[in-house]
Amino acid sequence: MRYFNLTHRTSDWTVPAFMERVSTVPVGEGVTDLSERYPHLRDRGPELSEYATLFAIRRLLQESWPDGTAPEDEPMVGISHYRRYAVTEPVGKPSFVYGLVTAEEFEQLPNQLFVPPPKTILMPAPFDLGMPVVTQYGVAHVTRDLLHFMGIAVDLGVVDGRAVSHFLGQNVMIAAPTTGVFPAEWLVLVLEALESVVDAFEATVAVPHEGYQRRALGFCCERLHSLLTASLVARWPEDKLIATRPVVVSEEETYTDGG
């Protein structure tokens, strides 16, 4: 199984050796800069967040499959972020929806904690926002972006309008749905669909934002990705699913976004 570690900077801790460190910006030794292969994704992180590198990984996987489908002996693919990792059992100090561990503690975690049994999905556990998804988005971001983004997804046939209505009105979502181990073909199709929505959004209704809100497309992708992941989980065997609190590497006492 290929297991990627998305990053945009050097880290102060050692990542498990089986994880391929990748980026879409120059980082340095030990990190493959995929923007050299896919230059149109270079420096798109400020708008797309981790999805810039994920869209590059999608291409990398497809190009490695001779007949366009995942090999039978490698049906799953793993994804972790710079400091955020899905784990098979909760560890670390609980904070928000994560378990916090220091860099020293992270390096002591066993490799098997990041790898589920064969053909098993590993993902962050869904969590209750305490308010509808659309309301929470409006508190933190610009609501019109999410509504346009979801509307385009419906128009493109990525998702059903009723599913969007239900999702935006409920209190539950999956934070960091990109983190975990998922069926490789499914992940490729989802990332392809997300990129098609991003392209249509940018070509039609995008408006510029400054600062933190510049990452609007990344925020919107996370919500749609959460919806699509929930649809996958709903039809996946329960005994082949592990959903737990992810780990975040941090020296802070409480979780803070960014970095």
Residue 244 is assigned to a structural domain of this protein: yes
Determine the Cα–Cα distance for residues 174 and 159; give it in Å rounded to an integer.
17
Residue 259 is assigned to a structural domain of this protein: no
| Whole-structure pTM value | 0.94
pLDDT < 50 stretches in the chain: 259
Identify the CA nearest to 149 among candidates 107, 193, 116.
193
Tens of pLDDT, residues 80-118 = 999 999 999 999 999 988 999 999 999 999 999 999 999
Predicted pLDDT of residue 257: 65
Residue 255 is assigned to a structural domain of this protein: no
Tokens at residue 102, please? 């220091």
Residue 232 is assigned to a structural domain of this protein: yes
Number of structural domains (the chain) is: 1
Predicted pLDDT of residue 259: 42
Residue 55 is assigned to a structural domain of this protein: yes
Range of the domain at 121: 3-249
Predicted pLDDT of residue 12: 87
